[in-house]
Structure 1
Amino acid sequence: MSKRQQFLSGPEEEELRLLGNRIRLARIRRSLTQAELAERTGFHRSTLVDLEAGKPGVSIGVMVSVLSALGLQGRLAEVLQKDELGEELEMGARKRARGSSDVADF
């Protein structure tokens, strides 16, 4: 049995790879090497290699710091700014709470 357990599904791993690729592209568009970005953020270059490869062990703190160094601070929080599914679920829960007369009272 492997020491490392897999916690992510295939689609989740693909999402991380896509995110890493987008961070890599943002770095390249700014004409920065991984070594230069590592110097700006204070992280080891190997950490940035892992982030750009979409490895799941990179902390969210590293990601936020890298995004900030790339001039993209605040972008990660935008992901949940508009949560349509969550809003629909919340509205459904409110309707169920108000209209609980259809629940049997034993």
Structure 2
Amino acid sequence: MRQLTDDKQVLTADQPLSTRSGKPALYRVADSNLRLYLAILRDVHNLTRRGRPDAGYTLFQNRWTSWRGRAVEPLIRTSLEQAAINGSLPWPDAHAVGGW
């Protein structure tokens, strides 16, 4: 896991925000293109290779809206972290930004 998070930077470890430790980190794919491929495009590609591009397109349409919402979460989290570092976070009492 260290090689995938530190060396290759394929995964990111999200640590829980808590006053006491105990919960393990959650790992997520760091690259948004790879996340899209694993979530949607791999299955669409398989359907297209089988000669069913219409089913692939329907699958893409069905999965796109839910994936799109989750895709922007890391971008928003990073933007909030940068705003906190710069002192321009709109919530002056917040000390950390986390996802869960």
TM-score range, shorter chain: 0.3 to 0.5
Q: Which has the larger radius of gyration?
A: 1
Instruction: Give TM-score scaled by structure 1 length.
Output: 0.32
Instruction: Give TM-score scaled by structure 2 length.
Output: 0.33
Between structures 1 and 2, the one with greater strand share: 2
Between structures 1 and 2, the one with greater helix share: 1
